[in-house]
A and B are shown apart, each in its own frame.
Chain A
């Protein structure tokens, strides 16, 4: 079945470490997105990519980096520059068919220990 896979489901990071969250899709979608969700809050856009080898900053890109070397994959690295990384991270993908909206992964919960 087609879908988006995020891994790991839970991730613990020590202060000062970089960590990478995986996002893989087999939907043949061109666009992929990373969102951050804090408790009781809406989703805020970190980065997005509309085509391979190209990506744009979202509203809260500081302290994060991404790559888009393959259409299927859009990994997010949370760097040590991100001062408050504890959050729920959601990856999504979409086509240009407007009615489809986005397909979301099941999320990664990152905790700084």
Chain B
């Protein structure tokens, strides 16, 4: 079974609008971390935001926020005020703390920001 599911292969958003990228996960480990990474066409992986399973509040980093709904096992990324430079692949990933620290990635969502 897929541990991390990103159901949107591609998304379009108008510049300056907000966009939500979906991510659901599956784990029985009570202690885990959820990450979002951005991958531009150059291939580098850029860390955006982190949410721990015991964190009470949703994580925020500048224009990025993570909508963490633990009971629904979802960790959606919200990008506010989209910019042209936000066009890239976005990956959701999970680390299960009892599984050796390895990150498991979703299939990714390709975001295109239109001017």
> Which residues of A does B touch, CB under 8 Å?
31, 33, 35, 40-45, 48, 50, 56, 58, 88, 90, 92, 94, 96, 98-99, 101-104, 106-107, 109
Total chain B interface residues with beta-carbon distance under 8 A? 25
How many whole Å from B102's CB to the nearest CB in chain A?
5
Determine whether the beta carbon of B91 is less than 8 Å from that of A33: no
- CB-CB under 8 A for A107 and B108, given A43-B91, A56-B100: no
Question: Complex: how many Å from CA A101 to CA B50?
Answer: 8
Interface residues of chain B, those whose CB is within 8 Å of chain A, are 4, 6, 9, 33, 35, 42-45, 47, 50, 52, 91, 93, 95, 97, 100-108
Could you jot down 14 A-B contacts, CB within 8 Å?
Answer: A31-B101, A33-B103, A41-B108, A42-B6, A42-B91, A43-B103, A45-B103, A90-B45, A98-B33, A98-B50, A98-B97, A101-B103, A102-B47, A106-B44
Are the C-beta atoms of B43 and A101 separated by less than 8 Å?
no
Task: Please give me the residue from chain A that is nearest to B31 by CB atom.
Answer: A98
**Cβ–Cβ contact B101 & A107, under 8 A:** no
Residue of A whose beta carbon sits closest to that of B32: A98
Whether B43 pairs with A88 at a CB distance below 8 angstroms is yes
B105 touches A42 (CB 8 A): yes
In angstroms, Cα B95 to Cα A94, docked, is 12
A contact residues around B33 at 8 Å (CB): 98, 101
* B residues near A92, Cβ cutoff 8 Å: 45, 103
Roughly how many angstroms separate A101 CA and B45 CA in the complex, as a whole number? 12
Chain A residue nearest in CB terms to B101: A31
Give every chain A residue within 8 A of B102 (Cβ-Cβ): 33, 45, 48, 58
Measured between alpha carbons, how far is A70 from B47 in the docked complex, in Å? 26
Shortest B96–chain A CB gap in Å is: 12
Which residues from B are CB-within-8-Å of A33? 102-103
- Residues of A near B52 (CB, < 8 A) are 98-99
Q: Do A99 and B50 touch (CB < 8 A)? A: yes
